Amino acid sequence: MPAPHPHREIPLSRPDVSDAEVALVVETLRSGRLSIGPMLERFEKQVAARTGCRHAVACSSGTAGLHMILRGLNIGPGDEVITTPFSFIASSNCILFVGATPVFVDICPKSLNMDPALIERAITPRTKAIIAVEVFGNPTWMDAYVQIAAKYELPLIEDSCEALGTSHKGRQCGAFGRAGVFGFYPNKQITTGEGGMIVTDDQGLADACRSMRSQGRGVTPLEPEGGRHDPANVGAWLRHERLGYNYRMHEMSAAMGVGQMRRLDEIIKKRQRVADLYMTRLMTSKSLILPSIEPETVMSWFVFVVRLAAGYTAEERNRIIAGMRNHDVGAGDYFPCIHLQPFYQKEFGFRAGQFPIAESVSQRTIALPFYNTVTERDVDIVCQTLDVMISRENLQRA
Ligand SMILES: *Cc1c(COP(=O)(O)O)cnc(C)c1O
């Protein structure tokens, strides 16, 4: 089958790094201060201000941030943590890092986030926290999770790695729970290459995370400006008060973050425009279910994921994705269920059928090319290619 149009490759994702970030990184490289410096503090202040949280702690990845929050809340062996099977693996792996047990609950087919009623049923005396993920940046049900967490006196941990800049009824993602985490991998709304950021109002938790990210050192000698050069702090650099890690974010990444954060509103607008173009173009398709966003939500789109209508199989979906890739149009299968990952099945005995909605949804999703600079023509090419691939499947069935 010929391609609908001859064209250049349209990738699934593409970072948007402006001259401002390049200048900030070069300035940092020339400054001689490559770690624990002023850029880190600036980036943390920006994210704290944006989310309205008192503390922001930058770290080496979103995954590292999740790990430190669980440790900071003293979650460990014998504890259960409720979370979603429909997410990127890190939101569940962090539970395993501390020796606790992930307890999955199924999702709502509309929002793709955890079903609040099922969370309540999954709570046991061993439950020590809830990790909620704003899947694809959608904050639906966050209010309900906050209420459940309050009712059962459980900390709500917000994996906001896909939702930087999204707000719901005026509240920023990351600020709903006891602590939130952002991730800055290159496909996220803003990127630092690799990186993450914890936000919280809890001073004790923030201090514990600052210490853990830097080998368990005491906080005071490190912040600000890495007081290791201060004559009053002799000995502090090699004094370790708790088990820590090297989860620091270096200054070049923080410098990128400073530049990217300044552009966050512009980035959100650009992504909204691309999402609107897809919505308009795909609205009339009988074969597709489009993202469903509540009216009180201002989205900061992470990805644009559609799904095939009920009745399409995983094999059909996979052929459609392969067909798009064959025509140089990026497409992805976000997300395979976490409980069905080979490691989770083998280690914990999970099996197909346990979380039917998550499983059914995950077999039919197709992530479309999505980044700040997608053009109207790109959207046309993507949607035409998608149409052709779906029609091909429909014809084979008939
Ligand atoms: C991106 C992401 C993370 C963090 O990823 P890192 O690569 O460790 O920064 C965590 N959870 C979810 C749901 C994500 O999408």
pLDDT digits (tens, 9 = 90+) for 51-93: 999 999 999 999 999 999 999 999 999 999 999 999 999 999 9
Residue 7 pLDDT greater than 70, yes or no: no
Q: Which residues contact 359 (CB under 8 A, 6 or more apart)?
A: 337, 340, 352, 353
Q: How many residues does the chain have?
A: 398
Over pLDDT 90: what percentage of the chain? 92
**Residue of 162, 181, 190 to test ligand 1 pocket, by largest number of atoms within 8 Å of CB:** 162
**Residues lining ligand 1, judged by CB closer than 6 Å?**
61-63, 87-88, 90-91, 133, 159, 161-162, 183, 185, 196
- What mean pLDDT do residues 286-308 have? 97
- Asked if 306 contacts 288 with a C-beta cutoff of 8 angstroms, the reply is yes
Atom of ligand 1 nearest to the CA of 162: 15
- What mean pLDDT do residues 352-357 have? 98
Residue nearest to atom 4 of ligand 1 (CA): 62
- Asked if 372 contacts 273 with a C-beta cutoff of 8 angstroms, the reply is no
More confident call, 237 vs 341: 341
**Residue of 161, 173, 187 to test ligand 1 pocket, by largest number of atoms within 8 Å of CB:** 161
For residue 92, what pLDDT is reported?
Answer: 98
The C-alpha atoms of residue 163 and residue 165 are separated, in whole angstroms, by 6
Query: By three-state DSSP, how is residue 47 classified?
Result: helix
Atom of ligand 1 nearest to the CA of 87: 13
Residue nearest to atom 5 of ligand 1 (CA): 62
Place of tokens 């600036």: 42
For residue 234, what pLDDT is reported?
Answer: 79
Q: b vs e for 336-352, b when ≥16 Cβ sit within 10 Å of the residue's Cβ?
A: bbbbbbeebeeeeebee
pLDDT tier at 3, thresholds 50, 70, 90: low
For residue 207, what pLDDT is reported?
Answer: 96
Count of C-beta atoms within a 10 Å radius of residue 223: 19
Q: What are 119-149's pLDDT values in tens digits?
A: 999 999 999 999 999 999 999 999 999 999 9
Residue nearest to atom 13 of ligand 1 (CA): 88
Give the rounded distance of the alpha carbon of 236 from its chain centre.
35
Measured at the CA of 318, the angle between CA 317 and CA 321, to 5 degrees, comes to 90
Measured at the CA of 91, the angle between CA 85 and CA 95, to 5 degrees, comes to 100
Residue nearest to atom 6 of ligand 1 (CA): 62
Measured at the CA of 76, the angle between CA 73 and CA 79, to 5 degrees, comes to 100
Catalytic residue among 128, 188, 269, 270: 188
**Residue of 13, 63, 113, 138 to test ligand 1 pocket, by largest number of atoms within 8 Å of CB:** 63
pLDDT tier at 397, thresholds 50, 70, 90: confident
128 is catalytic: no
Q: Which residues contact 82 (CB under 8 A, 6 or more apart)?
A: 103, 104, 105, 114, 119, 122, 123, 127, 129, 130, 131
The C-alpha atoms of residue 170 and residue 189 are separated, in whole angstroms, by 19
Query: By three-state DSSP, how is residue 129 classified?
Result: strand
For residue 225, what pLDDT is reported?
Answer: 47
Atom of ligand 1 nearest to the CA of 88: 13
Which among 160, 203, 182, 232 has a CA at the least distance from the CA of 58? 182
The C-alpha atoms of residue 297 and residue 56 are separated, in whole angstroms, by 23
The C-alpha atoms of residue 330 and residue 341 are separated, in whole angstroms, by 23
For residue 65, what pLDDT is reported?
Answer: 98
Sequence-ordered alpha helix ranges (H) in the chain:
19-31, 38-51, 62-72, 90-97, 116-122, 142-151, 203-213, 251-262, 264-282, 314-326, 342-348, 356-362, 376-397
Q: What are 113-124's pLDDT values in tens digits?
A: 999 999 999 999
- Asked if 36 contacts 248 with a C-beta cutoff of 8 angstroms, the reply is yes
The average confidence (pLDDT) of the chain is 95
Q: What are 210-244's pLDDT values in tens digits?
A: 999 999 998 754 454 455 667 777 788 888 999 99
Residue 138 structure tokens: 């959608």
Q: Which residues contact 161 (CB under 8 A, 6 or more apart)?
A: 62, 88, 90, 91, 133, 181, 182, 183, 188, 196
Atom of ligand 1 nearest to the CA of 135: 13
